[in-house]
Amino acid sequence: MDELSRAQIRDLMAQVLANQGKALPDDDGTDLREIGFRSLDFSELALRVEDETGEELNFDAPGLRRIATVGDVLDFLVTLQRQ
Amino acid sequence: MSDTPVVPPSTVVLVSGGSRGLGLAIVTDLLAAGTKVAAFARTVTPELAQLAAEHPDRVHVGAVDVTDLPAVQAFVREVEQRLGPVDGLVNNAAVGQDSMHTHTSTADLARIVETNLTAPLQLTRLVVRRMLGQGRRGRIVNVTSICAQRGFPGLVAYSATKGGMDAATRSLARELGGRLLVNAVAPGFFASEMSAVLGSTQLDQIVRRTPTGHLTEPAEVVPVVRMLLREQTNINGQVIVVDGAASV
Ligand SMILES: NC(=O)c1ccc[n+]([C@@H]2O[C@H](COP(=O)([O-])OP(=O)(O)OC[C@H]3O[C@@H](n4cnc5c(N)ncnc54)[C@H](OP(=O)(O)O)[C@@H]3O)[C@@H](O)[C@H]2O)c1
């Protein structure tokens, strides 16, 4: 199974936001609250990654609660794919 | 007048998940109230072992997984040999959850349902069969949760199991025709290993929404469990919420 790269996940994240009429800033340090990226959006993104890779991504909420920035989202999903 | 005599107070109580948290508090309280207590969990903690050492003729403990039916059966037999026939059961053992339903693995879903719903139904069946078969009366208390009645994110499967136990409580109370009193106690959130996963923001939010201004303490739940096991009341088939009106 092929893993998605960080850049590919970034593209998917941009699509999730674009569907809501929002843009994904270039800066990975952007706070998720600033762009209104909530836990359900994270879930949607994770499911899109699953669709691409065919592998289920399961995780507990405490890990999710530590995610604060765009970069955190990408790092979390890159790591999760490897578990 | 009914020809059904009252159900006497329980004298030998089996508590699942009695090693820590609320279960340990229930065991300690029942011992202080003079009952004999049998308790199990997958691991016997030093606290539970100490109670057993302090009251060798009134306590029986074991390391048993509630989902391992033959082990549970063997434990119940041991308890009856050591303490006498079981006439009280507290279904307390459970596992928590803190994951969105969409991202909870199917294996985890199965484990939550097996531990929190299937296993207590099986333990109840086992204990009720022994009570009825020996013509005894008894009492059952199911520890459920406010999650059975109100929605909480991250607790979908857990809530389903607790709602299932609330429903089973009502039907079992009907089915047993007054020979056993069957009730549930549904606490609000309290600090324990299970709720440790909740972030401080969530706990603060629960406290803010609670008219009594604090999280429920195990010490505030145990008197209700004791009452249902020991007092003469006509409470049967009920779910008693202990949450400081957080859910009202
Ligand atoms: N904490 C809360 O906020 C809260 C709120 C409402 C309701 N409740 C309910 O209150 C009850 C007690 O919860 P708690 O907070 O005291 O939890 P806890 O501290 O995690 O204790 C759970 C107990 O169940 C045992 N247990 C778990 N899985 C088991 C298994 N497979 N076989 C045998 N024993 C098992 C544990 O021991 P081992 O792990 O060693 O097996 C432990 O003794 C549960 O029914 C819970 O659903 C809790």
CB contact under 8 A, A61 and B108: no
Please say if the pLDDT value at position B2 is more than 70: no
- Residue A40's CB is within 10 A of a number of other CB atoms, namely 12
Local confidence band at A50 (pLDDT 50, 70, 90 cut-offs): very high
CA of A81 from ligand 1 middle (Å) equals: 31
| Residue range B6-33: mean pLDDT, rounded | 98
User: Which sequence spans correspond to the domains of chain A?
Assistant: 6-81
Q: What is the pLDDT of residues B34-45, one digit of tens each?
A: 999 999 999 999
Q: Comparing B196 with B133, which gets the higher pLDDT?
A: B133
| Residue range A72-76: mean pLDDT, rounded | 97
Residues of chain B with pLDDT > 70, as a percent, come to: 98
Residues of chain B with pLDDT > 90, as a percent, come to: 92
For residue B203, the model assigns a pLDDT of 85
For residue B157, the model assigns a pLDDT of 98
Whether residue B88 has its Cβ less than 6 Å from ligand 1: no
**B192/chain A closest Cα distance in angstroms:** 16
Burial of A4 per CB tally in 10 Å (0-12, 13-18, 19+): middle
Domains of chain B (ranges, CATH numbers): 12-242 (3.40.50.720)
Cα distances (Å, whole numbers) of residue B17 to B20, B38, B170: 7, 10, 22
**What's the complex ipTM?**
0.83
DSSP-assigned states of every residue in chain A: -PPPPHHHHHHHHHHHHHHTT----S-TT-BHHHHT--HHHHHHHHHHHHHHH-------HHHHHT--BHHHHHHHHHHHHH-
What number does CATH give the domain A6-81? 1.10.1200.10
Please say if the pLDDT value at position B4 is more than 80: no
Is there a contact between B145 and B187 (Cβ–Cβ < 8 Å)?
yes
Whether residue B120 has its Cβ less than 6 Å from ligand 1: no
Local confidence band at A83 (pLDDT 50, 70, 90 cut-offs): confident
* Tokens matching residue B167: 């429903």
For residue B1, the SS3 value is coil
Shortest CB distance from A57 goes to which of B98, B103, B153?
Answer: B103
Instruction: Give pTM, 2 decimals.
Output: 0.94
